[in-house]
Amino acid sequence: MLQTKQLLLVLLLAFTLLFCAIQWKIIAAPFREKPVPSDTLIVLGAHLWGDQPSPLLRYRLDKAIELYHLGYGQKIIVSGAQGHDEITTEAKAMAAYLVRNGIPQEDIFLEENSYNTFQNLKFSKEIMEKEELRHAVVVTNTFHLYRALRIAKYLDIEISGSAAKMHPFIGTKVKYYTREFFSVIKFLLLRS
Tell me which DSSP letter residue 132 carries: T
- CA atoms of 93 and 57, how far apart (whole Å): 10
CATH classification code of 32-190: 3.40.50.620
SS3 track for 55-106: HHHHHHHHHHHHHHHCCCCCEEEEECCCCCCCCCCHHHHHHHHHHHCCCCHH
Q: Quick check: 1 pLDDT over 70?
A: no
- Write the pLDDT tens digit of every residue in 104-142: 999 999 999 999 999 999 999 999 999 999 999 999 999
Q: What pTM, to 2 d.p., does this model score?
A: 0.94
Mean pLDDT, to the nearest integer, of 18-40?
97
Percent with pLDDT over 70 in the chain: 99
Select from 158, 80, 174 the least CA-distant residue to 118.
80
Domain extents for the chain?
32-190
DSSP element (H, E) containing 111: strand 108-111
- CA atoms of 89 and 45, how far apart (whole Å): 9
